[in-house]
Amino acid sequence: MRDTPVYIICSPRPLVGKTLIARQLSEFLLLKNGAVVAFDINLKEPSLLEYLPDITETAEVDDTFGKMALMDRLIVNDGIAKVIDLGFHAFDEFFKMSEEIGFIKEAARRGVAPIVLFIGDTDRASARGYPMLQQQIPPTALVAIDNEYVVRGELPPAFAGGRVLHIAALPVFLKTYIDRQTFSFTEYLRHEKDSSTELHQWIRRNYLSFRELELSVILQRS
């Protein structure tokens, strides 16, 4: 059996587009593989559960029971990709727990492939958080997200040495459109006849990036 990917979308900062990326990635995996399980670990941010209730569960890392319940689900090589929308409030606690229990090594032993998608930003918390992850996450499993909507210009030099996935910015009116809870990226691709529209091309470009990311998970252990 191939490794089961576990995508952890994270940032120590709120409002950086984390849930938007988790939504798109979850919809891509559902379209391509027919199944995905998403976990929502958020407080007041836009909630993944509100957008994708059929495939999303809430999870907590505030107590031992919540941590173990989550890890029990993530460590299973069942062939179903997992997506974690990790709220900024839980960033430090999640990765502290991950290091304490040796999650990365145990995942590899069980045929599970964690991929950490860190939303890059220019603030102090991001400048501290990314190097911290570099200490515990293998370079092939750590990807910086260059969200153009958040960082207007080049990512800080600290992110330049590793893998980077670029997400282009959309005009404000399109951003407002896709932020509706009833909006589906996949349904838009299916029903929009004009493939030259900016939104159609933006979704397809991101889906292709996710496809390359998924292939890299396969190639890592082949």
Label residue 136 by pLDDT band (50, 70, 90). very high
Q: What is the pLDDT of residue 214?
A: 87
Q: What is the pLDDT of residue 47?
A: 87
Q: What is the pLDDT of residue 162?
A: 83
As a whole-number percent, the residues of the chain with pLDDT over 90 amount to 77
Q: For 48-78, what is each residue's pLDDT tens digit?
A: 999 999 999 999 888 889 999 999 999 999 9
Amino acid, res. 220: Q
Lowest-pLDDT choice from 30-39, 43-52, 133-142: 43-52
As a whole-number percent, the residues of the chain with pLDDT over 70 amount to 96
Q: What is the pLDDT of residue 102?
A: 94
Q: Which residue has the tokens 């207007």?
A: 152
Q: For 192-222, what is each residue's pLDDT tens digit?
A: 989 999 999 999 999 999 999 988 876 665 5
Q: Is residue 177 classed as helix, strand or coil in its secondary structure?
A: helix
pLDDT (mean) for 129-134 = 93
The answer on pLDDT for 109 being more than 70 is yes
Q: Is residue 163 classed as helix, strand or coil in its secondary structure?
A: strand
Q: Two tokens at 135?
A: 């200490």
The answer on pLDDT for 46 being more than 70 is no
The answer on pLDDT for 99 being more than 80 is yes
Please report the domains of the chain, with CATH numbers, ordered by start residue: 4-220 (3.40.50.300)
Whether the Cβ atoms of residue 76 and residue 4 lie closer than 8 Å to each other: yes
* Mean pLDDT (the chain, rounded): 91
pLDDT (mean) for 119-138 = 92
Q: At what angle do helices 91-101 and 64-74 cross, to 10 degrees?
A: 70
